[in-house]
Amino acid sequence: MGLYVVVFCGLLLILVSAIHQWKLLLLLAFLFIVTAGTLLWYSNFEREKRRGNALPEKEIETVRIFYGSEKRGLLKDPQFQEILRKKHGVVINGDRTDGLEMPEDLEEIDAFWPSNGLVASLFKKQFPDVSYEMNNIFSTPVVLYSWPNITEALIKAGVVEKRKKLYIISDMKKLLEMRKQTWESLRLIRQTGPVVIQSADPSKSSPGLLMAVLTVVSLNNGKMAKASEIDKYKPDIIEIYKYMGALKSSSDILFNRYIRQGQGTFPLISACENQLIEFYQTSPDYQEKIRNQIRMLIPEPTVLNEHPLIALTEKGKMLLEALGDPDIRKLAWRKHGFRSGESDIDDPLILEGVSLPEQIAPLIPLPSPEIAEDILSASDSKSS
């Protein structure tokens, strides 16, 4: 607009000079100089103001990481990548891992973001002399998912309670012991098969492994079994996993098929809370189905799937610090379902029509790596 004013004044000067009105010419020349000077000053002022308000450009650092597959959706999120790059000067170059898999060469990575806290404990055991910084970034509880009429049948069977808008599994041990019953015996006429929780493979999936841990705790009356007690539960664990049939290699595959294929094929599954939130936010075509038909059943107690980051280099520490950014934590919860542990961020009302708990309690402490390996061995013995 300023350019138009200057051009207009210049045209007036030419016109007036052409008709020999010298007094008017002087006045217009004066106004032209004042206007041009004012516009030039204002333009410089605005430029300096914008320069002062702009964030300084950060030098971009590429951080190489080895990460658990559960975080793939978050790491591929363009909004997450933009916050890391613009605010913290970090770009992630990562390779995905599953289950208990460890990085083979630590010199090739800046950080390890494992699938759960158990893997972090195994990392400490495997690399006792490595210097690192570690902090738990996010967590999400292990839960079960089902359907309205099956949930009502489990309420009548005395294993599930409805508390306000939440469904709580008050007797997980009894639910596991119902595996020799059929859904038809619970008066679900069109639902075939045994009353069993379908889980992902514990040897390949973090939620699958934690479900195996939850199974042992439930059989042991809500307490973590000691190493000397695992053997007495092995026959039950083996039988439970035999009833499950063929296990899916990942919890994401299991959850996606549960949503898409429905109750007939997947009446009751175990997964993590964040999977429901992430699927809801990224699959709008299924939002109505989730609001009306999906039931989240929360075991009491349950176990947290923790996601600690292990920083091995200075670049890794940059990422560790950046992941504490409130904007990243809000995004991780609202779009991908990862809890930060901060009540002002973990708002349970993020999904319209879907009830989420304000906090998860009580919780089961994670077992030692040795006990976890014994549990994994027992759950993997179903084919022997």
Report pLDDT digits (tens) over 308-320.
Answer: 999 999 999 999 9
| Least confident window among 146-155, 164-173, 245-254, 370-379 | 370-379
Tokens for 67?
């990460």
Element (H, E) at 219: helix 206-219
In 3D space, the residue among 276, 268, 271, 53 whose CA is nearest the CA of residue 148 turns out to be: 268
In angstroms, the CA 329 to CA 360 distance is: 18
pLDDT beyond 50 at 384: no
Confidence (pLDDT) at 27: 53
Radius of gyration of the chain (CA): 30
CATH superfamily of the 61-140+307-336 domain: Periplasmic binding protein-like II (3.40.190.10)
**141-305+357-383 CATH fold:** D-Maltodextrin-Binding Protein; domain 2 (3.40.190)
Q: Which residue has the higher pLDDT, 326 or 18?
A: 326
Same fold, 61-140+307-336 and 141-305+357-383: yes
- What average pLDDT does this structure show over 283-288? 95
Confidence (pLDDT) at 210: 94
Confidence band, pLDDT 50/70/90 cuts, at residue 365? confident
Confidence band, pLDDT 50/70/90 cuts, at residue 267? very high
Confidence (pLDDT) at 383: 42
Confidence band, pLDDT 50/70/90 cuts, at residue 20? low
Confidence band, pLDDT 50/70/90 cuts, at residue 199? very high
Q: Are 101 and 209 in contact (CB under 8 A)?
A: no
In angstroms, the CA 302 to CA 169 distance is: 10
DSSP H helices, 222-362, are 230-244, 251-261, 273-282, 287-293, 314-322, 326-336
In angstroms, the CA 99 to CA 348 distance is: 28
Q: Is the peptide bond before 367 cis (omega within 30 degrees of 0)?
A: no
In angstroms, the CA 186 to CA 184 distance is: 5
pLDDT beyond 90 at 378: no
pTM, entire model: 0.83
> Residue 169 burial by CB count (10 A; 0-12/13-18/19+): exposed, middle or buried?
buried
Confidence (pLDDT) at 350: 85
Confidence (pLDDT) at 43: 63
CA 60 from centre of chain: 25
Tokens for 198?
């379908």
The structural domains of the chain, with segments of one domain joined by +, span: 61-140+307-336, 141-305+357-383
Confidence band, pLDDT 50/70/90 cuts, at residue 88? very high
